[in-house]
Amino acid sequence: MAARKLRELLETEDRSLSKLVDLLAELSLRIVREIPRTLGMTEGVNIYGEQQTELDVWSNRLLTKRLLRSGLVRQVASEEMETVMSADHGEYTVALDPLDGSSNIRTNNLMGTIVGIYHDKALPASGRDLLSALYFLYGPYVEAVVGVKSGVYLAAPAGTGSGASKFISNGEPHRLPQKGSVYGIGGSRDKWTEKVREFANRLERRKLKFRYGGSFVGDYNQVLCSGGFFAYPELLDAPDGKYRLQFESNPIGYITERAGGKASTGKGNILDVEPRSLSQRAPTYLGNKDLVSEFEELSSTTAGLFGNAKG
C-alpha cells in the first residue's frame, strides 16, 4: 500500500477523532522542540510522590490547556494531576501520561506521551471503553503509534503541513511479528516474584534479547516492532506493580490487542479490569499472545508452589 498521511487514514475511520489526533500530533512536535530548553527539576511532586521535572509540568500544562480549549474534549485526566479537568463542550474524554520516562531527561534517553481516548465516558473508565489509544515516542525521530478499531498505524513526521498531516504512514495496519525476539521486565531483580524469575529464565534460554531503558513507550515499542514480551510485574514490595491502569496500562494494552497481541495482569485481561480510582496501579504483561498466555499459565500453576516468596 502507498504511503499516506496519518490524517487521511484516520478520517476514513472517524472524522471527528482524526481532528483530535491531529491536535495531539501537533502538540507532540511542540513537546519535542521544548525538550532541550526545559531540562531542570522542580521542587514539586506529583500525586504519587514522584519528583516532577520542569518538562513534566510544562507538557501537562500544554496538553490539558489545548485539549480543553479545542471544543473536542470535555474532560482531561492526567497522571500529573489529582483531579479531572472539565470544559463546557466536547464529545471526548482523554487520559494522559504527558511525559512518560521523564527521568530519562538526565541521560538523554527515550521519552514519550501516552493518550487514551474515550467517547463521552466519565473517568476512571475501563479499558474496554476506549475508542482509541496512541503514543508518541521521542527518539531519534518522533514516531506516532495510533490504535483504532481497524488496527494500529505507525507514522513519522516526514511530510509537509502541520499536525497529523505531517505524519506519514505506510498505510498498512501494523501487526506484532509472529515470533518474538526481545523482552523487557521492569523492577529490581531481587524484588521479582519467583514466577517472574522463572519466566525470564525461559526467555533467556530461548535466546530472546533483553531490552530495558526505563521508558514504557520506548521499551514497549521494541516489542511492538520486533515481537516478544514486556512487563512491569507485581513485585515483592509492590504487588500492584508500578504502571497506572488509566494512564499507562490501558492505552498500551489497547494498542497491543489491536496489533494482534495480548495484554494481561497475570490473571486476566487488563482491559477487563474495572477501575476503582484514577491512581489505581496494575501488574502489566504485554506482547505476543503465546508468550503472555504462557506467563499466565505459569502464574496459575506456580501460585500455590511459590506464592510471593523470594527465591
Q: Convert the pLDDT of each residue in 4-55 to its tens digit.
A: 889 999 998 899 999 999 999 999 999 999 988 876 555 455 665 565 788 9
Q: For the structural domain made of 182-306, what CATH number should be given?
A: 3.40.190.80
Cα-based angle 223, 152, 234 (whole degrees, multiple of 5):
40
pLDDT for res 40 = 59
Residues 6+ apart with CB under 8 A from 40: 53, 54
Q: Could you say which of 3.30.540.10, 3.40.50.620, 3.30.420.40, 3.40.50.720 is the CATH number of the domain covering 4-169?
A: 3.30.540.10
Strands 111-119 and 228-232: unpaired
Q: Taking residues 195-224, report their average pLDDT.
A: 97
Is residue 233 over pLDDT 90?
A: yes
Domain ranges for the chain, please list them. 4-169, 182-306
Rounded to whole angstroms, the Cα distance separating 209 from 295 reads 17
Kindly indicate the confidence band of residue 216, based on its pLDDT and cuts at 50, 70 and 90: very high
Is the torsion defined by CA of 118, 120, 123, 124 positive or negative? Answer: negative
The DSSP code for 105 is G
Q: What pTM was computed for the model?
A: 0.92
- Rounded mean pLDDT of 161-179? 87
Residues 290-306: tens digit of each pLDDT:
999 999 999 998 655 44
Q: In the predicted model, is pLDDT for residue 160 greater than 90? A: no
Residue 77 · residue 98 · CB < 8 Å = no
Q: Are 168 and 156 in contact (CB under 8 A)?
A: yes
Model confidence pLDDT, tens digit, residues 94-139: 999 999 998 888 888 999 999 999 999 999 999 999 999 999 999 9
